[in-house]
A and B are shown apart, each in its own frame.
Chain A
Amino acid sequence: MSQPQTRLDSVGEIDRAFRGVELIDVDKTFGHASGERAVVRGCSFRIEPGRFTVMIGPSGAGKSTLIRLIAGFDFPSAGEIRAGGKLVRGPGKDRQVMFQETALFPWMTTSGNVRYGPKARGEFGPAARRLADALTTRMGLDRFRNMYPAQLSGGMQRRAELARAMMNEPSVMILDEPFRGLDSMTKRLMLEYYANYSEESERTNFFVTTDVDEAIFLADCVLVMTHIPTHVRAVVEVDLPRPRSLAALVDDERASELKAELLAMLHEEAATAFAAGGKETADFVEAYRRHHWSPKLAKADRP
């Protein structure tokens, strides 16, 4: 177990051999005529390979912006993002994102969705077929292969999306509050499912949430983010033994300690954000809507 402090310090110099994801002094500002809005400022951290990293922070802090930068859908205003030692210049199959709401292709069946990646790249052979079958079974979707997303339950949709992402054998799975919007039972089920799966696969995970319990349950290490413009406030190692269970964590002393520690920091950040005033938030929402979240739709808004 490396110490958080050493890890933060070592971020300063560029490590080309680092196989995980590395952010070095990243800034992101959204600007238009009426002014600029810094969403990310001086943000540096590492997503260690093979580990489960959870990013937690107040809502509206710019966590989704960071995800879009790492995924390559958008580019930093300053600083550098490296994945697998290479500069991020756009989206890549090494970094698969699972969005907050379902982004399954509605006109493809479950199996069509799962197979999309390799098929689109013209790489769908016997190996990919076997992987698709294995993932479909692993996600409990065998009976739903030929159904369209609209016919699946919320939990099934999320699992189908996971399978679709896994098909591309990403080196990092990026999950942006993936189980938000599911009912609490389904959410618990999906969390345990995903924790289970990631323990088996030893994949690198980068998971964003606003939920402290979720963070403690999943994480090897938690990045606590500041309010906007965001950067890492603290790195907390979650040294709880695995496998974990949500039920057992409720009574766990160490888990309660961690939870108190995380909540204290989050509360402070949220309070500062609130004190900064609603007007700024409104500007941000506006800038975000116009320039960031869905540029295509934003274009369509204009007459």
Chain B
Amino acid sequence: MVNLAVARAAEPRARPPSTIAILRLARPQRRALVSYFAALLVWQLGSTSGRWLGFELPLLGRVPAPSDVLLAWSHLILDPGYWQSWIASWKRVAVGFSAAVLTGVPLGLIMALNRPIWDVVFPVFELLRPIPPLAWVPVAIIFWPTQELSIDAVIFIGAFYTLVLNAVSGARSVDPRLIEVARSMGASKRNILTRLVLPGVLPSVLVGMEVSIGITWEVVVAAEMISGGGSSRAASSGGGLGFFIWNSYVGGSYPQIIVGMISIGIAGYLSSAALRAVAARLSRWNAPHGGRT
């Protein structure tokens, strides 16, 4: 019933409801399904090209077929170790990312609002920023007492700079006239900060969060591979998704590598989607129709 209403709203003219479930979806969702299906088809045909074409297509011809991957996945779904990998990676992303938000956003605000602090901090910041998170791995291993903390620290680095820079540009995009209006109405500094600066900064901080959580997933994998997967070294146990991929490679189970890769894709997608949903809720005023959808 809900789907039907959505479909009607999306179509210029009302059509009779289709008996096929897929056709009852709204247009963007139908297109997404088509896109997934097309990608799978190309992949399946490409990876089996040796059999039906007589020669292997470059790249794709050497990849395990989706059917093999699905088969491997179906075994893994019942394996608690696989799910422990999910949990381990999520935990690390959650810790590293939260730490980056809690430190990066305030630092960005202070840097944007206080010129002397900006002058002192920015040069060092700019010097450190180009250093890739992976270059921090050895230092992180030496510096932090546990391997878990080392991985968290590398993830933190991955998200930190983007968050700071977005908070800076957010704070600078606040219209100074709004602050003047508030001052002329006798608002306190505190009130100006909480009612004007913070809401004004919020949209770009949220964008920064959305971008940087994506980066944390890129980083978590590499960090886990290099750090060797935490304290538990058993195959597909608590090592995290990144270690899971590495371990599958070492163990020669190629379909599992792909399972790990897609799992990370899904995890990243979910975390970004969750942040987007929060962002849409928090900045309703910024939407073209004020969020009155």
Contacts and interface: CB of A to CB of B under 8 A. Distances in A.
Interface in B170-229: 172, 174-188, 191, 195-196, 199-200, 202
Contacts of A149: 285
B172 A120 contact: no
A150 B283 CA distance: 12
B18 interface: no
Nearest to B169: A300
A238 to B, nearest CB: 28
B284 interface: yes
Contact of A106 (B183, B191, B285, B292): B285
Contacts of A105: 178, 195-196, 199
A148 B284 contact: yes
Which interface residue of A72, A96, A107, A150 has the most chain B CB atoms within 10 A? A107
Contacts, number: 86
B1 to A, nearest CB: 29
B183 A147 contact: no
B180 A151 contact: no
Contacts of A96: 184-185
Interface in B248-293: 283-286, 288-290, 292
B115 interface: yes
Given A105-B196, A106-B285, A99 B185 contact: no
Interface residues of B, number: 32
A71 interface: yes
B185 A296 contact: no
Given A106-B285, A296-B172, A73 B180 contact: yes
A188 interface: no
Interface string A251-290: 0000000000000000000000000000000000000000
Contacts of A92: 184, 186
B176 A120 contact: no
Interface string A154-169: 0000000000100010
Interface in B86-116: 112, 115
Contacts of B191: 120
A296 B186 contact: no
A120 B115 contact: no
Contacts of B185: 93, 96, 116-117, 120-121, 168
A297 B284 CA distance: 25
Contact of A150 (B112, B172, B175, B285): B285
A293 to B, nearest CB: 9
A295 interface: yes
Contact of A107 (B176, B199, B288): B199
A66 interface: no
Given A92-B186, A120-B187, A121-B185, A147 B290 contact: yes
Contact of B176 (A150, A151, A296): A296
Interface residues of A, number: 33
Which interface residue of A72, A105, A294, A295 has the most chain B CB atoms within 10 A? A105
A95 interface: yes
Interface in B154-181: 172, 174-181
Which interface residue of B112, B200, B202, B285 has the most chain A CB atoms within 10 A? B285
B290 A148 contact: yes
B185 to A, nearest CB: 4
A106 B196 CA distance: 9
B172 A297 contact: yes
B292 A91 contact: no
Contacts of A297: 172, 176
Contacts of A236: none
A116 B182 contact: yes
B199 to A, nearest CB: 4
B179 to A, nearest CB: 8
A299 interface: yes
Contacts of B283: 107
Nearest to B190: A120
Contact of A294 (B176, B186, B292): B176
A285 B292 CA distance: 41
Interface string A109-152: 00000001100110000000000000000000000000111110
Contact of A71 (B182, B184, B186, B284): B184
A117 B176 CA distance: 17
Nearest to B182: A120
Contacts of A295: 176
Contacts of B188: 120
Contacts of B176: 294-297
Given A73-B183, A105-B195, A107-B283, 11 more contacts: A92-B184, A92-B186, A93-B184, A103-B180, A105-B199, A107-B199, A116-B187, A120-B195, A150-B288, A151-B289, A296-B172
14 contacts: A73-B180, A73-B184, A91-B183, A103-B178, A106-B285, A107-B202, A116-B187, A120-B186, A120-B188, A148-B290, A168-B185, A296-B174, A297-B172, A300-B172
Interface of A: 71-73, 90-93, 95-97, 99, 103, 105-108, 116-117, 120-121, 147-151, 164, 168, 294-297, 299-300
Interface pairs A-B: 7 shortest CB-CB: A120-B187, A117-B185, A91-B184, A148-B285, A300-B172, A151-B290, A107-B199
